[in-house]
Each structure stands twice: as C-alpha cells, then as structure tokens.
Amino acid sequence: MDQSLTGINHLVEDDIIEILREHFGRFGFGFKRIKFSIDCAERDKPRFEIDLKLDYIGKRRGRKRRVDKLYDELMTLCCKETKAEFFIMEQLYRWVQEVYIDIEEFVELVNKVKGL
C-alpha cells in the first residue's frame, strides 16, 4: 500500500492482485493473466476494470466421482457471485430440497467448501 501525504492509504496493483488471489484461491480457482484498465470518460469519475482468466487449481485426472462433479458444478455457478459462500450454501440447500443430492454428498460438499 502506498500512503499519501494526507495519511490516506491507497491500494497498488500488487495489493489488488493479492486480494483477488486469496479470494478466488479459497474456492479453488487461480489465474495467470490479469489485465487492468481505467476508463476516464467522465471527469473525476474513473471506472476501473479488471479482466481475469480463472483456471481451476488442482485439475483432476482420471475418472471423477459424483461429489467431485457436483463440487465443480458449484464452483462454476458461484464464479460470478460476490457472496460466493452464501450462494454455495443456498445452492446446496436447493439440491437437498430437490433430492438431487443425499446426506453423505451434502456433508462431503460442505467439507470441501470449508477446505476440510
């Protein structure tokens, strides 16, 4: 972080990259390329845009179990959500209500999301 003369802390690109890495890393995604752009179309109102190409960390080889497939499906569904944990739990609840998953799969998925 850079600190200005007035004492205000400003995030630099490295700080933003580290925050994004930690956020997406919690859900099993990483990225190699990142692109920053600033649009100054309106005066004193810059718009910042960050482009990421997300890749799943730890790609599995061989035959996938059903739980792994469900977990991958959850991760792809929550990629566009800002409150990913809430969205995942909500989706798991829907799957249980629809009898799409059983109790063992539910427990395994919750443990995977928690990182256990």
In the three-class reduction of DSSP (H, G, I as helix; E, B as strand; rest coil), residue 36 is classed as: strand
Nearest to 11, CA basis, from 3, 21, 1 = 1
What are the extents of the domains in the chain? 1-59, 60-116
pLDDT in tens, 78-98: 777 778 788 888 888 898 888
- Reported as a single tens digit per residue, the pLDDT across 34-49 is 888 877 777 777 777 8
Q: State residue 12 phi and psi, 5-degree precision.
A: -100, 175
Per-residue pLDDT averaged across 6-26, rounded? Answer: 80
| Rounded mean pLDDT, 68-74 | 84
How many DSSP H helices and E strands does the chain contain? 4, 4
- In whole angstroms, what is the distance from residue 50 CA to residue 105 CA? 35
Q: Confidence class of residue 60 from pLDDT cuts 50, 70 and 90?
A: low
Stretch 52-60: mean pLDDT: 71
